Amino acid sequence: MSEKEILEVSEAEIAVHWQEEEYFHPSTRFIAQANMTDAGIFDRLSLDNFPECFKEFADLLSWYKYWDKTLDTSDAPCWKWFVGGKINASFNCIDRHLAKYKNKAALIFVPEPEDEQHVVLTYQELYVRVNEFAALLRDFAGLKAGDRVTIHMPMVPELPITMLACARLGVIHSVVFGGFSGKACGERAADSGSRVIIYMDAYYRNGKLLDHKQNADIACKVAKEEGQSIDKVLIWRRYPGNDSSDTPMVEGRDFFVDEVLKDYSGKRVAPVQLPAEAPLFLMYTSGTTGKPKGCQHSIGGYLAYAAWTSKYIQDIHPEDVYWCMADIGWITGHSYIVYGPLSLAATTVMYEGVPTFPDPGRPWRIAEKLDVNIFHTAPTAIRMLRKVGPDEPPKYDYHFKHMTTVGEPIEPEVWRWYHKVVGKGEAVIVDTYWQTETGGFLCSTMPALHPMKPGSAGPAVPGIHPVIYDEDGNEIEAGAGKAGNICIRNPWPGAFQTIWGDRDRYVSTYYEKYCKNKDSKNWRDWPYFTGDAAVHAEDGYYRILGRIDDVINVAGHRLGTKELESCCLTVEEVAEASVVPVADEIKGRVPDIYVSLKPGYKQSKEIEDKVVMSIEKTIGKIARPKHVYIVPDMPKTRSGKIMRRVLAAISNRTDVGDVTTLANPEVVEEIRQMVQGD
Ligand code: PRX
């Protein structure tokens, strides 16, 4: 996609410039072993059979009690699935597999240092560890069903153990990405009303053992400032019995888990039988404005959806070795490292560190050693591995039957490298389109039923019925060659239930735009607004163009423009800030920051550094800008709105278009010269 097209995404009804790509077909070998080869699935999950058709999803799970009502719409648009059903997610991911698979690997943890052996946890071992920790959470931390807990941990086995222990009790977990700052953790802890937070003392990243525990103090302080006191900080240790962090413990608040756990050795906790529609977890995600939104996911609907899509789109069988190289701190990790694969008794691999450490052959060595046969990653990682180690994969003897790309659009060129070099021409690829809010995939090819088309996510997942609307709510037909706002006509079990503590924002952000009647209890009146622009090709495949709003997708992670901008404004000298996405070869997009200063201040390197530091401290290193430009003034409309689009064009060296109607057109050329240097 050219930069021009990317920038035009912010306007509805975009013309479409790219050419159609050739199809690639799955091998007969793949098809012969696939979980889903029945094309009748689309009819079974048609709108005529809605909502009862989703029983097929829920039947992949073990229920204490079946539901009475498949879909309850009485509180529209807060949909409730499988109402009356009783279930436990921890039981479904562990206990029910023991009879057949207790000695099978559930989790394989690969530490970043290559001289540290990988760790295998069988289903029986996972069972024991989850039970012991659940006992600690209940009896030491005093947690019970419905309480919230914030977890700020890196990629270590103790993270899924913690999540599953919470799920066993019905405690709602909120995992904050390990790379985020202590402040981000504290704000999320406060928003969710967590009085317990769970940390890891340290973890490896790029060869260094980082002190993570220091973030806990900041998190507690920030939470307190926002009115939430943290009673207990439970700290797992990377090396139990040894301190890997220099940050002192706070007496009476901080506890090393390995020490407290001694009292819970061998303890068992019966899984709590919970209502299907009770919350399983919160996952915070950035929006355009305001604070991050705590997306609330249910137990029954979410787990049914994660299990079904894992089985039929990821094609996971219990005997597969599945590796999703994402972080559990994002929704991908929740659905497709933890809940989906474990609900199917698969072996799920988790890797602690950086994919290119100590060299770009690392992922392929891991795949060879563990005999991984399903691989799942994001375009940003693919681009990076292609850049730094384009010839590495053939050096290793691994064979993937299936690969996934997720999180952002993938360029057809990059897709072809992934297919030919990483997949050795043998693997099928699914390009899965979805969101934190949707719990699981919305669009993807069914790997044994559809050919692949580079750069296109594919048709909708069975049971999902998208529609593309223009700004006025007219449907744009498939093959019209126009992009529009992709929405989903119908509710589905994986969809989030609400924004924690902010139902109004949930309704206004996701359901208001194309709602046909605000008083209606009929789901047909409430299409789900994804906020993405997409094109529907004649063959039924969707090509996703990106966010309609101003969120910047960096390396597959969504960052709110407004969040970044408000963070710049915490620097004393800064008067105005505008953040725009700039194309980056590796990460897809990164933020470029434009700031103007308060009167009396002069442009200096020191101020630029302060801006970068404020971003790193408040949001995390992931949001580090490519450049900070201190400009004399922002290009503005006459009503005073900053024209981000003009700045984005300058950053991306594309045409700024007609700027004569701006309040200060002369500043555009001044900024352009400053940035582009000619
Ligand atoms: O813009 C879409 C893009 O990522 C957004 C969702 O981001 P997040 O909630 O962080 O979830 C990421 C993991 C699902 C979407 O609104 N996106 C996601 N998958 C794709 C995509 N864009 C194009 N193609 C995809 N396969």
- Centre of ligand 1 from the C-alpha of residue 454, in Å: 16
Averaged pLDDT, 69-91: 98
- Centre of ligand 1 from the C-alpha of residue 286, in Å: 12
Q: What pLDDT band is residue 19 in, cutting at 50, 70 and 90?
A: low
Averaged pLDDT, 102-109: 98
C-alpha pair distances (Å), 231 with each of 190, 213, 257, 511, 622:
12, 16, 15, 37, 29
Contact between 155 and 350 under an 8 Å Cβ cutoff? The reply is yes
pLDDT of amino acid 177: 92
**Closest ligand 1 atom, CA of 457?**
26
Lowest-confidence segment of 131-135, 178-182, 538-542 by average pLDDT = 178-182
pLDDT of amino acid 271: 98
Averaged pLDDT, 360-387: 94
**Beta bridge mates, 517:** none
Best probe residue, ligand 1, of 284, 433, 453, 464 (max atoms within 8 Å of C-beta): 433
- Centre of ligand 1 from the C-alpha of residue 546, in Å: 8
- Centre of ligand 1 from the C-alpha of residue 22, in Å: 23
> Which of 103-112, 286-295, 657-666 has maximum average pLDDT?
103-112
pLDDT digit string, tens, across residues 456-497:
999 999 999 999 998 889 999 999 888 789 999 999 999 999
How many percent of the chain have pLDDT more than 90?
A: 78
Q: Residue of the nearest CA to atom 2 in ligand 1? A: 546
Q: What pLDDT band is residue 551 in, cutting at 50, 70 and 90?
A: low
**Closest ligand 1 atom, CA of 546?**
1
- Centre of ligand 1 from the C-alpha of residue 560, in Å: 14
Lining residues, ligand 1, CB within 6 Å: 285, 331-332, 406-409, 431-436, 457, 530, 532, 544, 546-547, 553, 558
Best probe residue, ligand 1, of 330, 376, 435, 509 (max atoms within 8 Å of C-beta): 435
Q: Residue of the nearest CA to atom 8 in ligand 1? A: 435
**pLDDT surpasses 80 at 381:** yes
Would the CA dihedral through 62, 68, 72, 78 be positive or negative? negative
**Closest ligand 1 atom, CA of 332?**
13
- Centre of ligand 1 from the C-alpha of residue 433, in Å: 6
pLDDT digit string, tens, across residues 295-345:
999 999 999 999 999 999 999 999 999 999 999 999 999 999 999 999 999
Q: Residue of the nearest CA to atom 11 in ligand 1? A: 435
Q: Residue of the nearest CA to atom 22 in ligand 1? A: 408
- Residue by residue, DSSP assigns 171-186 as PEEEEEETTB-HHHHH
**pLDDT surpasses 90 at 498:** yes
- Centre of ligand 1 from the C-alpha of residue 264, in Å: 41
pLDDT of amino acid 208: 96
**Closest ligand 1 atom, CA of 544?**
23
Averaged pLDDT, 399-403: 98
- Centre of ligand 1 from the C-alpha of residue 256, in Å: 37
- Centre of ligand 1 from the C-alpha of residue 591, in Å: 17
**pLDDT surpasses 90 at 533:** no
Sheet holding 483-488, edge to edge: 466-469, 483-488, 528-536, 542-547
pLDDT of amino acid 550: 60
pLDDT of amino acid 11: 29
Mapping DSSP to helix (H, G, I), strand (E, B) and coil, where does residue 282 land? strand
Distance CA 295, CA 18 (A): 34
**Closest ligand 1 atom, CA of 432?**
26
Q: Residue of the nearest CA to atom 24 in ligand 1? A: 409
**pLDDT surpasses 80 at 6:** no
- Centre of ligand 1 from the C-alpha of residue 466, in Å: 15
Report yes or no on whether pTM surpasses 0.85.
Answer: yes
Best probe residue, ligand 1, of 532, 554, 557 (max atoms within 8 Å of C-beta): 532
**Closest ligand 1 atom, CA of 434?**
14
Q: What pLDDT band is residue 74 in, cutting at 50, 70 and 90?
A: very high
- Structure-derived torsion over alpha carbons of residues 299, 300, 305, 308, reported in degrees to the nearest 10: 120
pLDDT digit string, tens, across residues 552-575:
777 777 676 767 887 888 898 988
- Centre of ligand 1 from the C-alpha of residue 332, in Å: 10
Best probe residue, ligand 1, of 444, 544, 545, 554 (max atoms within 8 Å of C-beta): 544
- Centre of ligand 1 from the C-alpha of residue 557, in Å: 8
How many percent of the chain have pLDDT more than 70?
A: 95
pLDDT digit string, tens, across residues 429-457:
999 999 999 999 999 999 999 999 998 99
Q: What pLDDT band is residue 375 in, cutting at 50, 70 and 90?
A: very high
- Centre of ligand 1 from the C-alpha of residue 407, in Å: 4
Q: What pLDDT band is residue 13 in, cutting at 50, 70 and 90?
A: very low
pLDDT of amino acid 296: 98
pLDDT of amino acid 567: 83
**pLDDT surpasses 60 at 37:** yes
Contact between 141 and 232 under an 8 Å Cβ cutoff? The reply is yes
pLDDT of amino acid 8: 32
pLDDT of amino acid 211: 97
pLDDT of amino acid 290: 62
**Closest ligand 1 atom, CA of 406?**
26
Averaged pLDDT, 658-675: 88
pLDDT of amino acid 291: 80
pLDDT of amino acid 263: 98
**pLDDT surpasses 90 at 607:** yes
More confident residue, 598 or 151: 151
Best probe residue, ligand 1, of 434, 443, 510, 541 (max atoms within 8 Å of C-beta): 434
Q: What pLDDT band is residue 5 in, cutting at 50, 70 and 90?
A: very low
Put residue 222 in one of left, alpha, beta given phi > 0 → left and psi -120 to 50 → alpha: alpha
pLDDT digit string, tens, across residues 620-649:
888 899 999 999 998 987 666 678 889 999
Task: Write down the residue that tokens 């659009």 correspond to.
Answer: 409
- Centre of ligand 1 from the C-alpha of residue 155, in Å: 21
Between strands 588-597 and 627-630, the pairing is parallel
pLDDT of amino acid 640: 67
**Closest ligand 1 atom, CA of 431?**
26
Q: Write a three-state SS string for 623-640.
A: HCCCEEEECCCCCECCCC
pLDDT of amino acid 90: 99
Provide the mean pLDDT of the chain. Answer: 92
Q: Residue of the nearest CA to atom 15 in ligand 1? A: 435
- Residue by residue, DSSP assigns 460-492 as BPTT--EEEE-TTSPBPPTTS-BEEEEEESS--
pLDDT of amino acid 549: 67
**Closest ligand 1 atom, CA of 557?**
10
Q: What pLDDT band is residue 2 in, cutting at 50, 70 and 90?
A: very low
Contact between 85 and 275 under an 8 Å Cβ cutoff? The reply is yes
Lowest-confidence segment of 33-47, 68-82, 200-214, 406-420 by average pLDDT = 406-420
pLDDT of amino acid 671: 96
pLDDT of amino acid 216: 98
pLDDT of amino acid 437: 97
- Residue by residue, DSSP assigns 546-605 as EESSS-EEETTEEE-HHHHHHHHTTSTTEEEEEEEEEEETTTEEEEEEEEEEPTT----H
- Centre of ligand 1 from the C-alpha of residue 580, in Å: 18
**pLDDT surpasses 80 at 396:** yes
Beta carbons within 10 angstroms of residue 444's beta carbon = 28
Name which of 421, 409, 341 is nearest 380 in CA terms.
409
Averaged pLDDT, 597-615: 92
**Closest ligand 1 atom, CA of 531?**
16
pLDDT of amino acid 50: 98
- Centre of ligand 1 from the C-alpha of residue 671, in Å: 32
Averaged pLDDT, 547-551: 69
